[in-house]
Amino acid sequence: MSSIWKNNISLSIFGQSHGAAIGMTLDGIPAGESIDMEVLQQFLSRRAPGGDENSPWATPRKESDIPEFLSGIVDGKTCGAPITAIIRNENTRAVDYAELRDVPRPGHADFTAHIKYNGFQDSAGGGHFSGRLTAALCIAGGICLQILARHGVHIGAHILSIGDIEGRGFDPVAIDVATLTKLDGMKFSVSDPPIAAKMIDRIAEVKSNNDSIGGVIECAIIGLPPGLGNPMFNGMENRLSQLVFAIPAVKGMAFGAGFEATKMLGSVHNDPFCFGESGGIKTKTNNHGGILGGITTGMPLIFRTAIKPTPSIGIEQDSISLGKKEPTKLKIKGRHDPCIVPRAVPCVIAAAAIGVLDAMEGR
């Protein structure tokens, strides 16, 4: 099943966008780990819908996204059993999606779900294909984040670009905890406030035209020891990419210099080794993004994630009637984000946290 990921840690995500609840089961977490529910809730709230008609980027659908733990945590600590939690869907409106069983939405999984499940798929809100299920991913990731922090590993992310408006990226060599913590407190996580204002204005412009826009999220992981990961099929790039691509809107991943490396000479792209102030080995630059041969080097692990425009838009689009077998027009109803990027930031962090903790458990 597509909803199960298994390595040293296993994660199963279940439910549908407009069903009774969504949830997750996380197994392989060591017993005795303290989980601060208030901190977890703060993390989940960064992803949760809850905008209003005047919000420039968020859907007006409101969900509190409060997890109910069914197993795995006793008196605030993991007990060794699989951790299962659900989030009840409170603000559903399945009627908005009644026609989608016959008319697939461009850019959505409606058509492929119809083929895969012989027409029996849940179409309301995208069913099991919905970005709503990333709330369950964030429960798992939020738990992993707390465990990683106790090991000195910290993960943060920010919006690098919205459309063609680009902000300032992380310093690939020098990133500290304070920088990442500051971003954690932002609903619209951008390190440069003037650029943030321009991004929000661009989203508002697109929203006024009933359209949508995408962008790029940059994520940094610091405090990683060298030596995590494996060559070939289970390298850190592989591990992180598989998890990040669980976020429905993701269309690309780039580590370190990424595609810009294709424009560099080897003499520029290669990162010279040196000794740090504490005597440890590091590199003077970080075009490799903290990974060589699938294995961490101890430098900040940096990657960027491409997020597509929200496929649900208010502009009339061309589609087909599966039943009548003829062309038709479709104007999508419902409540949708004109830009998914701001709410995808904690989802990327969550996916990264699961992948890193998994690698550390496999040492």
Q: What is the DSSP string of 256-283?
A: TTGGGGGGS-HHHHS--EEE-TTS-EEE
What pLDDT is stored for residue 7 in this prediction?
Answer: 87
- CB count within 10 Å of CB 223 equals 17
pLDDT score of 55: 60
Q: What is the pLDDT of residue 215?
A: 98
Phi, psi at 270, each rounded to 5°: -60, 135
Q: Residue 98's domain is classified under what CATH number?
A: 3.60.150.10
Which residues, in sequence order, are CB contacts of 342 under 8 Å at separation 6+?
A: 57, 58, 159, 187, 188, 189
Q: What is the C-alpha to C-alpha distance for residues 183 and 269, in angstroms, rounded to an integer?
A: 29
Q: What is the structure's pLDDT at 97?
A: 63
> Which regions in the chain score pLDDT beneath 70?
1-2, 50-63, 91-98, 125, 334
| Confidence (pLDDT) at 347 | 97
pTM of the model: 0.94
Report the domain count for the chain: 1
Look up the domain containing 140 and give its range: 4-361
